[in-house]
Amino acid sequence: MPIGIFDSGLGGLTVLDAVQQKMPDQPLIYFADSAHAPYGVRDADDVYRLTARAVQHLWDAGCDLVILACNTASAVALRRLQENLVPDGKRVLGVFVPMIEALTERDWGDNSPPREVNVKHVALFATPATVASRAFQRELAFRAIGVDVEAQACGGVVDAIEDGDMILAEALVRGHVDALKRKMPHPQAAILGCTHYPLVEAEFQAALGGDVRVYSQASLVAESLADYLTRHPSMAGTGGECAFVTTGDPKQVSDGATRFLRRKIEFLSA
C-alpha cells in the first residue's frame, strides 16, 4: 500500500526524494496543499483544520501511514490529530522525532528519564508558527536535560524557495543566521526545522561556520521511516509507484516541483 507524504507546499519533496532513494520499491502519494501555503504564518486552529483535511484525503486514497513532512503541521497539529482523529489501523507520524533521535543519540522508544547529552547549545531555524509552538523544545525535554535551545523564526525563506528565488532565499538565510548569532554566538548544532531548508543547507552551513553540526531532515526522516517499516511491515507496500496531488494549480505546482527536484514532476488536482 502507498505511504502518504504531506506538506503545505513543495518542501516535503525533499523527504519524498530521500525516501525514494532509501526505499525505491515503496509506493508513495505526495499531497501538496499549495492553495493554502505557507502554513508557517497561520494560527493553530487553521493549521489543524487544513492538516486534518489533507490527512483524510490520503487515508481515502489508501494510505494507512501518513508522514507530516511539514514542520508546522508536525509542531501544531500532530499531537491533536493523534489524540482525536486517527482511527484504528491508521498512523500519522511527524518529522521532529528523527531530528531529536539524532541530536540526543537515543531511540525514540527509549523511555528512560532525560539525561545530559554532549550538545549543550542548539540553534533552531524554523517557520514562525513552528517557533511559536515550542514543540521542538517540549519534545526535546522528554529526552535530554541541560540543552539550551535558541529559536530563530525564518520569515520569507519558504516563500522565496517556493517562488524559485534562491538568491533571495540565500540572502534571507544569512540574515536569519546573523540574528540567531546575536542571541547565541556559539551554537554547537543547528536544526533546520523545515523541509524546505535542505535546499539552502549549504548556505546555513557557510553562515554558521564549519564547526557547527547542521541537522537536516530529509535523510534522517527516510532512515527513520525505513526502520519503522521494518518494525511494522504491514504498513509497507511494493511497486514503487509515486503519485502527486495538489489543491493548487497543477501546472504551476508541477513546474515548481520540477525546478525543486530537477526532474519532471506532474501533479494532479486533489
Q: Which sign, positive or negative, has the C-alpha torsion 11, 217, 148, 142?
A: positive
Active site residue 194: yes
d(CA 209, CA 212): 6
Largest CA distance in the chain: 50
d(CA 55, CA 266): 21
Q: Are 267 and 24 in contact (CB under 8 A)?
A: no
Q: Which of 63, 70, 154, 242 is catalytic?
A: 70
Q: Which of 63, 154, 194, 242 is catalytic?
A: 194
Q: Are 100 and 130 in contact (CB under 8 A)?
A: no
d(CA 69, CA 195): 7
Residue with cell 532525560: 114
Nearest Cα to Cα of residue 8 among 150, 101, 130: 130
Cell of 165: 528565488
Active site residues: 70, 194
